[in-house]
Structure 1
Amino acid sequence: MDGTTVYGYLISPEEGKELKGIVQLAHGMAETAERYERFARSLAAEGYLVYAHDHRGHGKTAGDLENVGYLADKEGFEWLVRDMHNLTDIIREEHPALPLFLLGHSMGSFAAQRYAMEHGKELTGLILSGSNGNQGIMLKAGNIIAAREVKKLGRKARSEKMNQLLFGSFNKRFHPSRTEFDWLSRDDEEVDKYIRDPYCGAVFTSGFYHDFINGLMVIEKKSNRRKVPKDLPILILSGDRDPVGKFGKGVRNLYEIYKNTGVKDITLKLYPEARHELLNEINREEVTNDIITWVKQHTV
């Protein structure tokens, strides 16, 4: 709608297989939708269509590496959520009757939280991976620093300060560390694949951080929390060693938030010793099977 071309993916079940439903994926920050191909093929084998796209400022949607980490000239996080709903519109044009699940990981999980506030009635179920609940005063402090970075550097400049503020402490619990991304997974090969991918792990722009934190502050408003449909089934998944979810504390908070706002069907599963990227963890088959089982249970 603002002229940004968003690059999408579709993985389908084998021809002739009965279609049971659809899973729309929203990937995390500083990565791409292609990293979910293994998981998507597992869903397709069970009869589910999987739609995904590279968010603006990411992967093929960003195009050149120099564009990675910048979402829009204003309202970048809200535009990211609008892009997700635009994909939903495309999905519904092609498959108006199939059950539709939205799975968001990390940044994508926060976008999915925001999506559910505005478009939750369009979903059969919501799955949040690597997420977090309310962060309160930390967000307000981060917002002030991000605004200063925008004023000092400009929106398109990469902010080492914000990158350090958000991610600098994530590896502290994993010493002696092998890489600066050990917090992602216990699977060294998956961590190395992430590091080798030029579209992963970039330092993002000051404009991104400012827009993202503003988006998180919008999500935390009680009036917006109450917009999530009470009959929307929600599955929250996290490793209890995931720093994004405050090692279980943050996702427990998120579970309680939804419960207290009246959501009737909500499930929280914490995986012992697992880190941030559950679908790239050493127990990924367990996680994949848990998601498929939950989706099947809610496919109507």
Structure 2
Amino acid sequence: MGIRLKPSPAWLLFQAVISFLALPASAAVIREDTASLGGEQYPCVYKWSDPSTRPQAVVIAVHGVTLHGLNFDALATHLAERGIVVFAPDLRGYGRWCNSKNPGQDEGSAVAYHQSGQDLISLIDAAKSDYPRLPLYCLGESLGAGIALYAAAEEPCLVDGLILSSPAVKRRLNLSPKLIPLVLSDAAKACANPIREVNLTPYIKKFASSDPRVVNEKINDPLVRKRLSALDLLKTVKSIRSTLKYAAKVKPNVPVLVIQASNDKVLKGKAVVELLAHLHSEDQTVKWFNNRGHLMLETSYLHPDVLQTVDRWLDDHILLGKPLLRISDSSAVATFSRSSFNQSESN
């Protein structure tokens, strides 16, 4: 009669790591422009997966203002090659929702952030039903970070972690002298007719990124929305103001990765300190990138160090369950962050 030895937890962990690292090379990542979940079709949700690899986790990526889910194509393809199933919805009023024959009247064609948050929760529920044993992470950039926080606050049992890039907390109000006449003109037109759309192209050129390739990518993307009404912009401001409220409701056991650029011309980098103070997460990882602009994940021009940060954080939490950098003392967060942010703000 043989003797069966019970493997130790350390041995099981070692096997899991080796199994993950020894995944076969990707045959080809498949992108579905209409995601299928639970037998239902999601026409405004993209999905990336690699059938040659064993799924390790699910990531749902949420885009920012004017953008759309396909802006995550490079990042999602990279993650799918590593065994992560990625979904990216178009928020209502953006991307393919704008292909409506009756803009602003057909369902989904109008900007609606609260309803987009509800859509995200439904997508999380469906993804968890199809992948019940996989950890699920919400990733959001800019305004998308606030919507990801909303979903994590509403679905604490389904969201296993958050990745927040350039989170929209507080807008920058300083404008270059060249833009002031344009801003005043647009403001006057908006006051006269709040539903009249404002041309956002000059603002995208100025603020989207410090990398001209990223700016040109957005300007030439037909799915990027280049015009919004004053009412839509007010909805956007209102949504941004809710970010801290949602952050305070996220459960302490939800790990959070925050990445922020020093050259963000859209949002105040200092506000990330305030975001960290509102988050009760016992597992906060913060990564600061010097000389980078607002958009870091929603582009084809991904920087290797940004990818490495996201990869390591995901690997750490999928396999090991512990952070790269644990910051549990709120005073330590402020001390760690304030010098970096103050240095950035002075540049």
Shared fold (TM-score, shorter chain, > 0.5):
yes
Deviations 1:91-136 (A, max 9, x none): 122111210000001121121122222123311110111114367x
Structure 1 residue 200 displacement after superposition? 2.0
Amino acid across the alignment from 1:227? K
Q: 1:238-269, CA deviations, whole angstroms, 9 ceiling, x for partnerless residues?
A: 111112331x21223222322xxx32001111
Number of the residue aligned with 2:248: 226
Question: RMSD value over aligned CA atoms?
Answer: 3.4
**1:54-110 deviations in Å (ceiling 9; x for gaps):** 111111122149838x99699922111111112112212211121000000112112
**Per-residue Cα deviation, 1:264-285 (whole angstroms, up to 9, x for no partner):** 0011111000001113486622
Q: What is aligned with 2:155?
A: 119
Q: Which has the larger radius of gyration?
A: 2
- The one-letter code matched in structure 1 to 2:255 is P
Determine if contact 1:81/1:114 at 8 Å carries over to the other structure: yes
Distance, in Å, in 2 between the alignment partners of 1:85 and 1:26 is 12
* Contact 2:164 2:259 (8 Å CA) reproduced: yes
CA–CA distance in structure 2, aligned partners of residues 186 and 213 of structure 1: 23
2:140 match: secondary structure: strand
Alignment counterpart, residue 263 of structure 2, candidates 232, 238, 241: 241
Q: Deviations for 1:211-258, whole angstroms, at most 9, x for unmatched residues?
A: 33333334444xx54321011000111111112331x21223222322
User: How has the CA–CA distance of structure 1 residues 273 and 298 changed in structure 2, closer, same or farther, with 3 Å as cutoff?
Assistant: same
Give the equivalent residue in structure 2 for 1:34.
70
Check if 1:207 corresponds to 2:228.
no
Go from structure 1 to structure 2 and tell me whether the alpha carbon gap of 1:281 and 1:40 turns closer, same or farther (over 3 Å shift).
closer
1:182 & 1:101 partners in 2: Cα distance? 31
Q: Report the equivalent of 2:197.
A: 158
Q: 1:75 to 1:46 in 2, by over 3 A?
A: closer
Q: Aligned partners of 1:295 and 1:91: how far apart in 2?
A: 18
The match for 2:241 is: 217
Q: Select which of 102, 118, 124 maps to 1:88.
A: 124
Change in Cα spacing, 1:189 to 1:64, as seen in structure 2 (3 Å) is farther
Count of paired positions: 265
1:285 maps to which of 290, 296, 304 = 304
SS class of match (2:318): coil
- List aligned pairs for 1:114-193, cutoff 5 A: 114-133=150-169, 153=193, 155=195, 157-159=196-198, 181-193=205-217
Q: Per the alignment, in what secondary structure is the counterpart of residue 52 of structure 1?
A: strand
Q: In the alignment, which residue of structure 1 is the partner of 2:139?
A: 103
1:181 is paired with a residue whose SS is helix
Which residue, 81, 85, 99 being the options, matches 1:45? 81
Give unpaired runs (5+ residues) of structure 1.
Answer: 136-147, 169-179
Partner of 1:194: 218
CA positional deviation for 1:40: 0.6
Gaps of 5+ in 2: 1-41, 172-187, 320-347
Please give the TM-score of this superposition, normalised by the length of structure 2. 0.67
The normalised TM-score by structure 1 is 0.76
Task: Give the number of the structure whose residues are more often helix, by fraction.
Answer: 1
Q: Select the residue among 274, 291, 307 that pairs with 1:253.
A: 274
Does structure 1 residue 59 correspond to structure 2 residue 117? Answer: no
The answer as to 2:51 corresponding to 1:22 is: no
Give % identity. Answer: 23
C-alpha distance in 2 between matches for 1:71 and 1:116: 25
> Higher relative CO (CA 8 A, sep ≥ 6), structure 1 or 2?
1
> What residue in structure 2 maps to residue 144 of structure 1?
none
Q: 1:83 to 1:116 in 2, by over 3 A?
A: same
